[in-house]
A = this chain, B = another copy of it.
Amino acid sequence: MILVNGVACDTVDALDRGLAYGDGVFRTLAIRAARPQCWQRHYRKLAGDCAVLGVPCPAPELLLAELAELAREGADCAAKIIVTRGAGARGYAVPGEVRPMRIVISDALPQHPPRYAESGVALHLCRLRLGHQPALAGIKHLNRLENVLARTEANDAGCAEGLLLDFAGNVIGGTMANVFIAERGVLTTPDLGRCGVAGATRERVIECARAAGIACRVEDIGIERLLAAEEVFLVNSLIGVWQVQELQHKAWGRGELAPRVREWLEREED
């Protein structure tokens, strides 16, 4: 099901700036038993990302009603929300009067092999490096060609996910997931101030770790440090947690922290 500005419809304005320039943001979240998971957190992120671009964010009640409409078709599904700056005349200049467009799309929850969650995944180290753009770093905007190219690399390598470094050699994350490493009981996740997408689940893991008395740092991580870590795992709103089993010549066994993180994420959150 696709709702465009609240109306069931499978097309959008051909002059929408989301298409013309990627001028918008999006979120992907799970709906389970008709409940959008971590809705407050996702909405906060959506509103924050809209604010960075200066796109008016739709009211939460509006989106929540639309997610409920998706859930009536299927109580368990993946939902994607796109908010763009709406249609505009030719040219980069932002229209004087912005009428944002919102699209709410439901899809089946992804069917990954169960072993990904049980025993972990192989990670491909992408050749593509992420460029730095602090003005857009962290936000989940619609300019995602780097992710498309990196995803193609990971698929070609037969890996469940690709790992992206930036041009400075820092680990940034997966093509569709955020990354954490565990070292002597301490978690660290990359600083995303120059590039990357700061996902809702990453934020949740940071908060849960701190609440559980486990230190969680946000800082630059080089690839050698990641390869030497005791555990490496990937998180996002649909996969939950995947441990990394293999990257280049390194192999990891089961870790202790990843299962705890899974427990945290399986708790209900509003």
Is A145 touching B141 in the complex (CB atoms < 8 A)? Answer: yes
Sample of 8 more A-B contacts, CB < 8 Å, known A12-B13, A92-B144, A94-B148? A19-B84, A21-B145, A21-B147, A78-B90, A90-B105, A92-B176, A133-B146, A135-B149
Is there a chain B Cβ closer than 8 Å to A53's Cβ? yes
Is there a chain B Cβ closer than 8 Å to A152's Cβ? yes
- A90's closest neighbor in chain B, by CB? B107
Query: B16, B22, B89, B91: which contacts A143 (Cβ < 8 A)?
Result: B22
Is B4 touching A14 in the complex (CB atoms < 8 A)? Answer: yes
Is there a chain B Cβ closer than 8 Å to A82's Cβ? yes
Residues of chain B within 8 A of A144, CB atoms compared: 20-23, 92, 143
Contact with B along A1-13 (1 / 0, CB 8 A): 0101000011111
Residues of chain B within 8 A of A90, CB atoms compared: 28, 78, 80, 105, 107, 110
* Chain A interface residues toward B at CB < 8 A: 2, 4, 9-23, 26, 28, 53-54, 78, 80, 82, 84, 89-94, 103, 105, 107, 110, 128, 130-133, 135-136, 141-152, 155, 167, 175-176, 195
Is A147 touching B92 in the complex (CB atoms < 8 A)? Answer: yes
Is A155 touching B16 in the complex (CB atoms < 8 A)? Answer: no
Residues of chain B within 8 A of A16, CB atoms compared: 19
User: Known contacts A92-B144, A128-B135, A132-B167; is A2 also within 8 Å of B15 by CB?
Assistant: yes
Is A21 touching B149 in the complex (CB atoms < 8 A)? Answer: no
Is A20 touching B82 in the complex (CB atoms < 8 A)? Answer: yes
Is B14 touching A2 in the complex (CB atoms < 8 A)? Answer: yes
Is A131 touching B133 in the complex (CB atoms < 8 A)? Answer: yes
Residues of chain B within 8 A of A17, CB atoms compared: 148
